[in-house]
Amino acid sequence: MANQTSPARTPQDLDELITGGIGDSPLRPDGTLKVRGEFAYSSDLWADDMLWGATLRSPHPYARINSIDIGPALKHPGVYAVLTHEDVPGENIYGLKVADTPALAEDVVRYKGEPIALVAADHPETARRALDKIVVDYEVFEPITDPERAAHDDTLPKLHPGGNVVRYQPIVTGDPDARADVVVSDVYTMGMQDQAFLGPESGLAIPAEDGGVDLFIATQWLHVDQRQTARALGLPVEKVRFTMSGVGGAFGGREDLSMQIHCCMLALYTGKPVKMVYSREESFYGHVHRHPAKMYYEHGATKDGKLVFVKARMYFDGGAYASKTPVVVSNATALGIGPYVVPNVAIEGWGLYTNNPPCGAMRGLGAVQPAYAYESQMDKLAKALGMDPVRLRQLNAVEEGSTMHTGQVLDSPAPVAELLERLTRIPLPAQERTGPVDVRDMPGGASNTTHGEGVVRGVGYSVIIKNVSYAEGADDYSTARVRLQAVGGVPIAMVHTAAAEVGQGLVTVQQQIARSELGVQRVNIHPNDTDVGDAGSSSASRQTYITGGAVKNACEAVREELFDRVARRFGENPGDLSLTGGKVVSAVTGLVADLVDVLGDDVIEETREYHHLKTYAMDPVTGQSRRVHVQHAFSAHRAVVDVDTELGLVKVVQLDCAQDVGKAINPDAVVGQIHGGSAQGLGLAVMEEIKVEDGRILNPSFTDYLIPTIVDMPPMTVDVIERGDPNSPYGVRGVGEPPTISATPAIVNAIRNATGLNLTHTPVAPEHICGIEPG
């Protein structure tokens, strides 16, 4: 029976009491603290009586270790421990996809910066000085630095027992001998990009009374870190407990282990808390980077512009260890022709071991490199055909129901042509300048390099496809625990997951889902740790989809239990009930009861997982698969650039984006992700490159490795469309990675349009434009 003493309200009235649900843009709970500089990052961690850890790293890209003498370092005052591979308690090997990486080098070092020994001391400077006292005798070898040669030259040394090929994946469909009226080809290269997160690697390990260890760490995947670390420590997983600390950016660079094993080893050995914090230079050596690539592409089309064939060979430099190289090869080949219908395809992809710095996950994993190549090709093809480049792309665009070259059928909206059309409607900046020239608006900016002489303008387009979530048969899932209770007369929900908040706004999204599903305003987020089930990595644009799905499932389970109680108590039909504004409402009888009255002193808690549709591995010979990826996302950019052709300087004047997000759970956060992703794509287009020579990084600092600042970012118009995916929670589609992928080729295409130059390497440097070699 309905509670007649409560004020009469319609469900619509009650719904207005809840703000910050799905489709709203509530403030981030961590936003104010971060703006004020009060947010606690992992580098701010502290414990009484803690020691400081430091890592000795190889000065050589490739060498044999003949001996290690730690005696002088142990004698240094203030030193508590010096550890080598002999002190690793468990298995001295780990890896995300392939177990090939030693926690501490044993007999061989395979890249400059590889960890060899650890020190724990009472002060960070003491630890650093002790590192200098460790004596290592090396036999230095000539490093392998050319990935294409590593793929084919059997005379080279084998860096790993299985050889130098991490993965080879071909994809073949249609007629391999297909002919076309117009053919364009070229060889494209992409440099090594760094994730450039501002918070360096850091963590605090505390030994526990049960013989285990608690690690507070900035990472992207708590449970995979836990499993790898436990094996290295020789401990049961339950004795290695991980808690997420404040993360100052990630972008893929925290998927692999850095100091996790090292910090725990030192803490367990000394019996004291141990803190480790990398310097900026050490961070460049201590995490993986984006794979450099060399890509051979050939496109053929009819004279009317219909694509006939695409042929490609792609080489990805994985560096010394595998990391995510197998996935990079998979994504690059499966997405390697772009969002286009092509009847005849022959692609080969190699991921290689070299003695260059290890490469792994970075935003847009495996899709960034081929997108630069295939979108360059589409512009060249348009020029050869005398066609408008946008029209050529629309003519060949995939749509829902199209078959990919892997054999997968696109089973959700694919509005590629619409995205391009929307871009063309966004007004272009004024071409003619009126009044005096403001040098700050010119290439070179405030350095006053030009007043407009030799400056030409160009416009470029791109549109891309990116997979969302794990692929090729991986069991991609997340776990959420949701608790509902009344505290002080207020219904409060608590959401507990292990999903890493790395700046993408996942904490806010989880709150929004719980508010909408449970009809409560107050939603707290439990600290992320390994006391709840796995949530997978904060990567592959998957967390809103997968962890959002788990939170939704857990909330629905809580709601179901609550409605069963209401049904028993009030005689209502559970199918008629809903939660709105902290009330239980029946579609038949109206307001039933306050939520706090139904809960009383009880707590309803449920834990649920969310698994997406099953995916399948590509055939190792043909690359065919009924479903390689569970979902695809699409993004398009238009770039306007001014180029000083005499000095080779580029200014991005405007950078507009149209993207399908499926459903904007938090519209402001979606636009923020698109802005941020576009900034990283801009950096890759014109400035960001780790320079590596003979296996050595030449620019391991933010002085010499340049990233875009606020003065480099142009005005952006973002057009967000929502074509819901029927297979995902709320219809969501991954948002974070696509804009990074499409921004780079749009900018490079704009530079080509301005200059008429071929430009086959990104980032585009001044010497590529004006032909002057750097001095």
Q: Strand 182-190 and strand 761-762: pairing?
A: parallel
Q: Which helix (H) or strand (E) holds 300?
A: strand 293-301
How many folded domains does the chain comprise?
A: 3
Tokens matching residue 668: 């402001």
Query: Is 403 a domain residue?
Result: yes
Query: Is 168 a domain residue?
Result: no
Residue 772's pLDDT is 63
Q: Are 536 and 498 in contact (CB under 8 A)?
A: no
Last residue of a domain, one of 611, 629, 659: 611
Kindly state whether residues 225 and 270 are assigned to the same domain. yes
Tokens matching residue 283: 């961070």
Domain with residue 526: its CATH number is 3.30.365.10
DSSP conformation class of 147: H
Sign of CA dihedral 619, 620, 622, 628: positive
Kindly state whether residues 670 and 704 are assigned to the same domain. yes
Query: Is 495 a domain residue?
Result: yes
Query: Is 674 a domain residue?
Result: yes
Kindly state whether residues 541 and 676 are assigned to the same domain. no
User: Assign residue 234 a region: left if phi > 0, alpha if psi is -120 to 50, beta otherwise?
Assistant: left
> Is 15 a residue whose pLDDT tops 50?
no
Tokens matching residue 774: 């750097």
Q: What is the distance between the alpha carbons of residues 60 and 696, in angstroms, rounded to a whole number? A: 8
pLDDT greater at residue 773 or residue 27: 27
Last residue of a domain, one of 557, 576, 611: 611
> Is 5 a residue whose pLDDT tops 70?
no
> Is 480 a residue whose pLDDT tops 60?
yes
Query: Is 104 a domain residue?
Result: yes
Q: What is the distance between the alpha carbons of residues 363 and 200, in angstroms, rounded to a whole number? A: 18
Q: What is the distance between the alpha carbons of residues 646 and 650, in angstroms, rounded to a whole number? A: 11
Kindly state whether residues 329 and 407 are assigned to the same domain. yes
User: Cα 321 from chain centroid?
Assistant: 19
Q: What is the distance between the alpha carbons of residues 733 and 167, in angstroms, rounded to a whole number? A: 29
Kindly state whether residues 564 and 660 are assigned to the same domain. no
Q: Which helix (H) or strand (E) holds 455?
A: strand 455-471
User: What length is written for the chain?
Assistant: 775
pLDDT in tens, 401-449: 999 999 999 999 999 999 999 999 999 998 876 677 888 889 988 888 8
Kindly state whether residues 554 and 592 are assigned to the same domain. yes
Q: What is the distance between the alpha carbons of residues 339 and 310, in angstroms, rounded to a whole number? A: 13
pLDDT in tens, 138-173: 999 999 999 999 999 999 999 999 999 999 999 999
Residue 617's pLDDT is 98
Q: What is the pTM assigned to this prediction?
A: 0.95
Q: Taking residues 630-634, report their average pLDDT.
A: 98
Q: What is the distance between the alpha carbons of residues 685 and 327, in angstroms, rounded to a whole number? A: 23
Q: CA distances (Å), 570 to each of 1, 349, 451, 559, 585, in order?
A: 5, 63, 78, 16, 12
Sheet of strand 490-496, all strands in order from the earlier edge strand to the far edge: 522-525, 490-496, 477-487, 603-611
pLDDT in tens, 333-354: 999 999 999 999 999 999 999 9
Q: What is the distance between the alpha carbons of residues 486 and 584, in angstroms, rounded to a whole number? A: 14
Q: Are 442 and 652 in contact (CB under 8 A)?
A: no
Kindly state whether residues 627 and 754 are assigned to the same domain. yes
pLDDT greater at residue 436 or residue 690: 690
pLDDT in tens, 573-622: 999 999 999 999 999 999 999 999 999 999 999 999 999 999 999 999 99
Kindly state whether residues 460 and 498 are assigned to the same domain. no
Last residue of a domain, one of 574, 596, 611: 611
Domain with residue 70: its CATH number is 3.90.1170.50
Q: Residue 773 — very low, low, confident or very high, per pLDDT cuts 50/70/90? A: low
Quickly list DSSP for 572-610: --GGGEEEETTEEEETTTEEEEEHHHHHTT-EEEEEEEE
Kindly state whether residues 120 and 25 are assigned to the same domain. no
Identify the three-state secondary structure at position 467: strand
Identify the three-state secondary structure at position 537: coil
Residue 432's pLDDT is 73
Rg (CA), the chain: 27
Kindly state whether residues 234 and 125 are assigned to the same domain. yes
Q: What is the distance between the alpha carbons of residues 183 and 390, in angstroms, rounded to a whole number? A: 18
Using N-to-C axis directions, what is the helix angle for 667-686 and 738-755, rounded to 10°?
Answer: 40
Q: Are 297 and 374 in contact (CB under 8 A)?
A: yes
Q: Taking residues 206-235, report their average pLDDT.
A: 98
Sign of CA dihedral 83, 248, 498, 331: negative
> Is 459 a residue whose pLDDT tops 50?
yes
Kindly state whether residues 621 and 726 are assigned to the same domain. yes
> Is 536 a residue whose pLDDT tops 90?
yes
List of residues 6+ apart from 436 with CB closer than 8 A: none
| Residue 235: how many other CB atoms lie within 10 Å | 19
DSSP conformation class of 261: H
Q: Taking residues 455-466, report their average pLDDT.
A: 98
Q: What is the distance between the alpha carbons of residues 222 and 296, in angstroms, rounded to a whole number? A: 38
Q: Which residues pair with 101 in a beta bridge?
A: 94
Question: What is the tally of helices (H) and strands (E) in the chain?
Answer: 18, 29
> Is 14 a residue whose pLDDT tops 70?
no
Quickly list DSSP for 361-396: --SSTTTHHHHHHHHHHHHHHHHHHT--HHHHHHHH
pLDDT in tens, 290-308: 999 999 999 999 999 999 9
Q: CA distances (Å), 511 to each of 284, 506, 522, 661, in order?
A: 35, 9, 8, 19
Tokens matching residue 276: 């480790």
Domain span holding position 676: 293-472+617-770
Using N-to-C axis directions, what is the helix angle for 389-396 and 416-425, rounded to 10°?
Answer: 160
pLDDT in tens, 74-122: 999 999 999 999 999 999 999 999 999 999 999 999 999 999 999 999 9
> Is 671 a residue whose pLDDT tops 70?
yes
Residue 17's pLDDT is 62
Q: Are 7 and 585 in contact (CB under 8 A)?
A: no
User: Cα 738 from chain centroid?
Assistant: 10
Q: Are 163 and 102 in contact (CB under 8 A)?
A: no
Q: Are 381 and 308 in contact (CB under 8 A)?
A: no
Q: What is the distance between the alpha carbons of residues 542 and 478, in angstroms, rounded to a whole number? A: 10
Residue 51's pLDDT is 98
If you average pLDDT over every residue of the chain, what do you get?
95
Kindly state whether residues 594 and 719 are assigned to the same domain. no
Query: Is 718 a domain residue?
Result: yes
Q: Strand 344-352 and strand 590-594: pairing?
A: unpaired
Q: What is the distance between the alpha carbons of residues 52 and 103, in angstroms, rounded to a whole number? A: 19
Q: CA distances (Å), 406 to each of 176, 272, 326, 364, 623, in order?
A: 15, 53, 17, 19, 6
Query: Is 187 a domain residue?
Result: no
Residue 739's pLDDT is 98
pLDDT in tens, 256-299: 999 999 999 999 999 999 999 999 999 999 999 999 999 999 99
Q: What is the distance between the alpha carbons of residues 495 and 280, in angstroms, rounded to a whole number? A: 35
Residue 606's pLDDT is 98
Query: Is 163 a domain residue?
Result: no
Residue 61's pLDDT is 98
> Is 530 a residue whose pLDDT tops 80?
yes
Q: Could you give the residue ranges of the DSSP H alpha helices within 234-343? A: 260-270, 280-286, 325-334
Residue 744 phi/psi, 5° resolution?
-60, -55
Residue 472's pLDDT is 97
The share of the chain scoring above pLDDT 70, in percent, equals: 97
